[in-house]
Structure formats: structure tokens, C-alpha cells
Amino acid sequence: MKSTIYIAGIGIISAIGDNAVQTLARLTASESGVSDMEILPSAYAGALPVAEVKYTNTQLAAISGLEPWQTRTAQLSMIAAREAKDNSKIDFMKWRCGFISANTVGGMDRTEDFMKDFLADASKGDLHDVINHDSGDATEIVAQKLGCTDYITTISTACSSSANAMMYGARLIQNDVADIIIAGGTDALSRFTLNGFKSLMILDENPCMPFDENRKGLNLGEGAGYVVLVSQRVLDSEGATALAVLSGYANANDAYHQTASSPEGNGNYAAMKGALEMAGLQPADIDYINLHGTGTPNNDVSEGTAIRRVFGDQPPVMSSTKAYTGHTLGASAGIEAVISIMALQHGIVFPNLRHQTQMKELPFAPQTTMLTKPLRHVLSNSFGFGGNCSSVIFSKN
């Protein structure tokens, strides 16, 4: 039997807050962070809404303590990961500490700046803008700053990346490779990402409407979210208090399509079933589902169909928080893990913003008003391109 993995700290930054306290306040006030572009220089400014962190890279550097020329992905990661570490109130220097971080865009925001100058004149372009391009660079920078260098890995599996980082971190602790793992993910907006999603024709020109019959697509976002994973031994030695238990998780791949989920939700179904089995729970034990809920026609039908297969026609209350934060890609599972843990702590189901009409394919709809109720087990879904599907369950300690 595998040892229990506890959540000892959380950290988050997104379009709805610079930290967990601000994020909770915006969620409970039903305030969305989706708005017009102000920071990202794009031809689609004014046409495609996004969920930006409203700071320039220089302003983020003043908060993160990194250099202004370092990538936006790293800046966001540093802010959220440091908050998670501080929130745990654990002396990390006493333990084998690792940092498992996910992202999909790497330093593309800086590379784009370099390429603009370089293409105009091959003798131009600031090399500071390209040396941090690869996805692993942000992980290395933040791990060094935090002093979590006993085990460092970057995971990039599209939108399930952060969930897979948490799973990997849990296994490292259970197999005595590390004592503490800060796990989650980060991603920044870039023109490359925005243009790519635009070419797939899955961006909504208005604030997104997850799980609504008239949904038209997603809104991209940016941010970072991390949890501190620890064993019982660390908790007892430090006299720390666990915020939640990582009770179950699973990853599956339906290998259906490069950018679409199977209509039957096969990967989604397998991930949810696997997480329930690991946690030793029945579907009826889940009190709230934090949906992947992107707002695209394909995702919401696929996820809804899988939920119906697992939970029947009367599933637990559910909502997508991407209507607040946008779809933050590699950071989404980390951000939504923090949101799920706050929901568990405070007994709050955050409403699915802008939902108006029930989908014709489903006999149920998401929660549209804030609901206060005791929560014991929260399921959070993260389903990525290429069919890489992950589900995690957080339970009351």
C-alpha cells in the first residue's frame, strides 16, 4: 500500500489574483479575469479576449526577484512556487526537496521579441531573449532560487502537464527519492500560442461559456499554480498542518486525435475511473468536480459524456473555473488544483460563469451560483491535446 501524500502549501498567480488570498476573493465575488489584451502585443488585440496577468515583464521581475530579461514563464512560476513554499511553513533546508514544474510555451514570449529584430537585420537581436527559450529553463531557474535542487524535472504534456507533475512528485516521495516536492506548472501568453489556437478555430471572440449549448470556444490565459507535496514523516517532524490529501490520480491516453478528445470521452473516462480506484472511492463519494471545461464544442461534449459514463445522469455538482482564469494550458491543472483545494477548505463550489443554456447532449448542467456545502472529496480534470488525460482527487485531511 502506497503511503499518503499530503498538500502542505499552495501558491497561485493568474488573471484573478497575485496569490491565493486574492484569488479566493475574486472567485467568491464571481469576478472573471477575461478581458481585452493589454500586455501581449498582438494583431488580435481588441478582437480576442484573454486572461492576462496585468503586469509587464519588468513589473513581474520586481515581484519575483528574477531578472527583467528572464522569461515571463519563469517570472510567473517564481511568484506562485515561492508562495507555495512559504505557505507550507516547512524548513526545506532539512529535507530532500525537488521541483517538478510543467509548461508548454517555454520562453517563446522572449524568442518572439528576438526574432522580430533578427529577421529585420541578422546582426540585431538581444541574445538574452533566446537563451532561456526551452521549457526546462524556467524550471531550473526557479528550482535554484528556491533551493529545491535534489530532483528537478520539467513535464510538457499539453493541458494535463501540471497534473502529471503532481503525480510524478507523489511517486518520488512514495519511492523515497525525495521528502518534499513542489509540483505544478506555469505558462505565459505568447503570439505563437494565440495564433496557433486561432488557426484551430477554437477561440471565442467573447468571454467563454464552458458547458453551455451555445459555447464557441476558449479564451487563453496565463499564470502559475503549485502545491507542496509531503509525506506523513515530514508533517510530523515539522509540526505542519496539511491542507488536503492527494488521495487519487490517474493518467490515460485515448490516442484519438492530435487536438481533439474522442466523442465517447474514452481517455477522460479512464482517467476519472483510475483516480477513483486509487483513492478507494465510489463515484457517489465525490462532492464536486472541477471541470476541464474549456468551452470548446469538442471538449465539453467529450468530458460531459465521460462524466455521465462514470457518475450517471445525476453527477456531483460541477463547474469550470476557466471562465475566470482562461485556459492557462500547461499551468491549468496546477491553478485548478489550488482552486480545488481552496474549495475543499472553505466548502465552496465556485459558479460556472456565463452559463445560460444546458447542452442538448447532457442531462445535467454545471453549477451557476455560488454554493456553500461540506466537501470531502474534489475531483479535478485536466485533458490535453494528443489525448493525454489526467484526473486528480483532493480529499479532506
- DSSP summary character for residue 210: T
233 plus 258 within the same structural domain: no
Give the separation between CA 260 and CA 159, rounded to whole angstroms.
12
Whether 1 is covered by a domain: the verdict is no
* Angle between helix 108-120 and helix 191-199 axes, rounded to 10 deg: 100
Residue at which a domain ends, from 197, 219, 238: 238
Whether residue 120 has pLDDT greater than 90 = no
175 plus 138 within the same structural domain: yes
pLDDT digits (tens, 9 = 90+) for 89-98: 999 999 999 9
260 plus 222 within the same structural domain: no
Query: For residue 264, which of 361, 385, 360, 357 has the smallest C-alpha distance?
Result: 361
Q: Which residue out of 97, 148, 327, 377 is catalytically annotated?
A: 327
For residue 128, indicate whether it is catalytic.
no
107 plus 20 within the same structural domain: yes
Average pLDDT, the chain: 95
Spatial contact of 290 and 339, defined as CB atoms under 8 Å apart:
yes
360 plus 228 within the same structural domain: no
Domain limits for position 43: 6-238
213 plus 99 within the same structural domain: yes
In terms of pTM, does the model score above 0.95?
A: yes
136 plus 189 within the same structural domain: yes
80 plus 222 within the same structural domain: yes
Q: Which residue out of 97, 148, 208, 292 is catalytically annotated?
A: 292
229 plus 250 within the same structural domain: no
- % of the chain surpassing 90 pLDDT: 87
Whether residue 1 has pLDDT greater than 70 = no
Whether 175 is covered by a domain: the verdict is yes
For residue 355, indicate whether it is catalytic.
no
Instruction: Please report the pLDDT score of residue 325 as a whole number.
Output: 98
Whether 209 is covered by a domain: the verdict is yes
316 plus 200 within the same structural domain: no
> How many domains are there within the chain?
2
Q: Which residue out of 148, 159, 208, 389 is catalytically annotated?
A: 159
Residue at which a domain ends, from 199, 214, 238: 238
Instruction: Please report the pLDDT score of residue 254 as a whole number.
Output: 82
Give the separation between CA 164 and CA 276, rounded to whole angstroms.
16
Q: How confident is the model at residue 216 (pLDDT cuts 50, 70, 90)?
A: very high
Residue at which a domain ends, from 238, 271, 297: 238
pLDDT digits (tens, 9 = 90+) for 275-300: 999 999 999 999 999 999 999 999 99
pLDDT digits (tens, 9 = 90+) for 41-68: 999 999 999 999 999 999 999 999 999 9
Q: What is the arrangement of strands in the sheet containing 377-383, beginning at the earlier edge strand?
A: 151-155, 97-102, 180-187, 223-230, 6-13, 244-253, 388-395, 377-383, 288-290, 317-319
Give the separation between CA 191 and CA 195, rounded to whole angstroms.
6
Whether 116 is covered by a domain: the verdict is yes
Instruction: Please report the pLDDT score of residue 373 as a whole number.
Output: 96
Whether residue 190 has pLDDT greater than 90 = yes
249 plus 234 within the same structural domain: no
Whether residue 259 has pLDDT greater than 80 = no
The CATH code of the domain that includes 271 is 3.40.47.10
Cell numbers for 209? 461559456
Whether residue 219 has pLDDT greater than 70 = yes
140 plus 201 within the same structural domain: yes
Instruction: Please report the pLDDT score of residue 32 as a whole number.
Output: 98
Q: How confident is the model at residue 385 (pLDDT cuts 50, 70, 90)?
A: confident
For residue 148, indicate whether it is catalytic.
no
Q: Around Cβ 397, how many Cβ atoms within 10 Å?
A: 15
Most confident of 156-160, 333-337, 381-385: 333-337
Whether 95 is covered by a domain: the verdict is yes
